[in-house]
Amino acid sequence: MGVDFAYAPAHLYTYMSQSVRATYYSPAIAQLYRDGMPNQCRFVRKLVEAGGPIMAGTDALVPGIALHGEIRALAACGVSNFEAMKAATATPGRWFAIYKPDAERFGTVEAGKSADLALFEANPTANLSNLDRISAVVTAGRWLDRAELGRRLQDLPRRNAQEIARLKAAAAK
């Protein structure tokens, strides 16, 4: 599966016991996922063809850091790039607006909605490889350019390792 725990939130890493990590991210489980993928893809395609909503999610892997992989997996199932991107943006925003009306409004770029967004050098709906070409991110009203994102990503494994050590020491007390 190739989950890179260096970029996972430290609290998630320490929450997951070694046995959970070894079980859920083992080669045997990865093979079960691969074996079941054709049926899952058929289901997803039929749902989209019928006009049903789909949502990308990262809860089965590491929350947050696996979203681009989820978008690519939907496209590999035969869902258009546009529908795959919508599954990670507008559809979850619409779902939250319906089922959790007090939730922060997100999912589309509109006045009054959360301003967190990624800006790409080229359109991901034209080619999903453009997901890897993030030029900037706006989060909590702050502009983070490519250089700043690179610095943060470079430093994240070190900061996570420090936090994991701190959490382990606190748990040992």
Res. 143 pLDDT band, cuts 50 70 90: very high
38: domain range? 5-172
* Residue 162 confidence (pLDDT) above 80: yes
Secondary structure of residue 119 in the 3-state scheme: strand
User: What pTM, to 2 d.p., does this model score?
Assistant: 0.78
Judge contact between 160 and 12, C-beta under 8 A.
no
CA angle 30, 86, 82 (to 5 degrees): 90
Number of domains in the chain: 1
pLDDT in tens, 105-129: 777 787 777 768 899 999 999 999 9
Cα–chain center distance at 121 = 19
Residue 96: the pLDDT is 83
The tokens of 134 are what? 């993030």
The pLDDT score that the predictor gives to residue 19 is: 62
What tens digit of pLDDT does each residue of 54-90 get? 999 876 556 666 788 889 999 999 999 999 999 998 8
Could you tell me which of 94, 13, 12 has the C-alpha nearest to residue 53? 94
Provide the mean pLDDT of the chain: 83
